[in-house]
Amino acid sequence: MKAFEYANPTTEKDAVTALRVDGRIALPLAGGMDLIARMKDYVTSPDRIVNVKNALDTTIAALPGGGLKIGAGVKIVDLVENAQVAKLYPAVVAAAGEVGTPQIRNAGTVGGNINQRPRCWYFRQEEFNCYKKGGNRCFSPAGENQYHAIFGNEGPSHIVHPSSLAVPFVAYSATFRVVGPNGERTVAASDFFTMPTLQNVRKENVLADDEILTHVMLPAPGNVRTGHYEVRYKESHDWPLALTMNGNTIQSARVVLGAVAPIPWRSADAEQALVGKPLNEATAIAAGEAAVRAAKPLSRNVYKVQITKTAVKRAIMQIAGLKPVQLRA
């Protein structure tokens, strides 16, 4: 591992200051489940790491008027075990409970999970200098693209967004508090994650290099009913998808898919297929069909289209109480 400077700030302001290194690379370190692994594999070689664990809020607090404010320093395990989160935002707890392994949930934080880098195996190997590492090509279109995107495949990168928590946060219309050298700002979760372009392909979100994510604000859920349906490629761990709806007869719907696109993917087609319809199996089937209408799979991931269709259908049926959640792909 390359030698690096280490900063240990205790306030958000000092953390941001420590991230300013004039042309060199400084990165925040939270639980280290992603960053340390990338450093060990020579995928990321920062000049300075800034431990943000002592600078970030580690609490979950009620917001005036309803809703919850979750500190970016909250560990994933504490999110899973929080009674208020479970009561108000069950899809968050369902997604958090499936993150990685118990060890990863014990060390990993909300902020680190949202900001983790892609799992693409070319990205994770030192030898492949793809767009995301400053190279001039993507290896996935002609390569092993089984786990890559089926939506938003215009390129130049074809990753799927890796954060399980990002999906329900987008579905619940969360906002993120961000702190940087010019103070703080809030960004809607749905605007935080960015599609790859040649100009920004080395990033997955709107954070500047000297900004940190400090909080996730979840609005009061009202009469929202949620479903969350996860499909696993392997027995141990993989990435989920989530669905949020309003009402019994469907008044409005948010269908957000994980693991299918470079960002948590909102399916407008599925949402349109749901609104104004009764919550039953026929509606669930129609929404599943609609969800994959715009899919553009790569050479080796056509199977994901069927999985997505089935997962959307089953998430809706789960909300309707029509079938037990059981699927192993």
Ligand X SMILES: Cc1cc2nc3c(=O)[nH]c(=O)nc-3n(C[C@H](O)[C@H](O)[C@H](O)COP(=O)(O)OP(=O)(O)OC[C@H]3O[C@@H](n4cnc5c(N)ncnc54)[C@H](O)[C@@H]3O)c2cc1C
Site of interaction with ligand X (CB under 6 A): 27-35, 52, 56, 72, 98-100, 104, 107-109, 111-113, 115-117, 162-164, 207, 212-213, 237-239
Q: Specify the residue, 107 or 217, whose C-beta has the smaller distance to ligand X.
A: 107
Q: Specify the residue, 253 or 311, whose C-beta has the smaller distance to ligand X.
A: 311
Q: Specify the residue, 120 or 273, whose C-beta has the smaller distance to ligand SF4.
A: 120
The DSSP letter of residue 109 is B
Residues 6+ apart with CB under 8 A from 253: 243, 244, 245, 246, 270, 271, 274, 275
Q: Is 132 in the site for ligand SF4 (CB under 6 A)?
A: yes
Output the smallest distance, CB 131 to ligand SF4, in A: 4
Q: In what order do the strands lie in the sheet with 5-7?
A: 5-7, 48-51, 26-29
Q: Is 140 in the site for ligand SF4 (CB under 6 A)?
A: yes
Q: With CB cut-offs between 5 and 8 Å by kind, which of ligand SF4, ligand X, none does residue 60 bind?
A: none
Residues 6+ apart with CB under 8 A from 27: 19, 35, 44, 46, 48, 49, 50
Q: Is 158 in the site for ligand SF4 (CB under 6 A)?
A: yes
Q: Specify the residue, 105 or 148, whose C-beta has the smaller distance to ligand SF4.
A: 148
Q: Specify the residue, 25 or 285, whose C-beta has the smaller distance to ligand SF4.
A: 25
Got the DSSP string for 15-78? HHHHT--TTS-EEEESS-TTHHHHHHTTS---SEEEE-TTTS---EEEPTTS-EEEETT-BHHH
Q: Are 88 and 70 in contact (CB under 8 A)?
A: no
Contact letters for ligand SF4, residues 224-253 (x by CB under 6 A) = ------------------------------
Q: Is 9 in the site for ligand SF4 (CB under 6 A)?
A: no
Q: Is 159 in the site for ligand SF4 (CB under 6 A)?
A: yes
